[in-house]
Amino acid sequence: MATDTPLADLSAAGVSIWLDDLSRQRIESGNLTSLIQDDHVVGVTSNPTIFASAFADADHYAEDLDALAARGASVEDAIRELTTEDVRRACDVFRGVWQQTGGVDGRVSLEVDPGKAHDTEATVAEAADLWKTVDRPNLMIKIPATREGIPAITRTLAEGISVNVTLIFSVQRYREVMEAYLAGMEQARANGHDLTGMASVASFFVSRVDSEVDKRLDAIGSEAALNLRGTAAIANARLAYAAFLEVFGTERWAALKGAGAKPQRPLWASTGVKNKAYPDTLYVTELVAPNTVNTMPEATLRAFADHGELHGDAVTGTEDAAREVFASLAHVGIDVDDVYQVLEDEGVKKFDDSWSELTETVSDQLTRRSPGQK
> Which of the residues are catalytic?
142
Instruction: Give the HSE-up count for residue 214: Cα atoms under 13 Å, Cβ half-sphere.
Output: 17
Q: Name the strand (E) or helix (H) holding 142.
A: strand 139-144
| Rounded Cα distance, 215 and 202, in Å | 26
Closest CA to 188 of 153, 225, 140, 224: 153
Beta bridge partners, 111, equal 142
| Rounded Cα distance, 207 and 79, in Å | 29
Those residues whose C-beta lies under 8 Å from the C-beta of residue 298, and which sit 6 or more positions away, are: 19, 21
- Cβ atoms within 10 A of the Cβ of 148, count? 17
Q: How far is CA 129 from the centre of its chain?
A: 20
Closest CA to 203 of 165, 147, 247: 165
Q: What DSSP character marks residue 272?
A: S
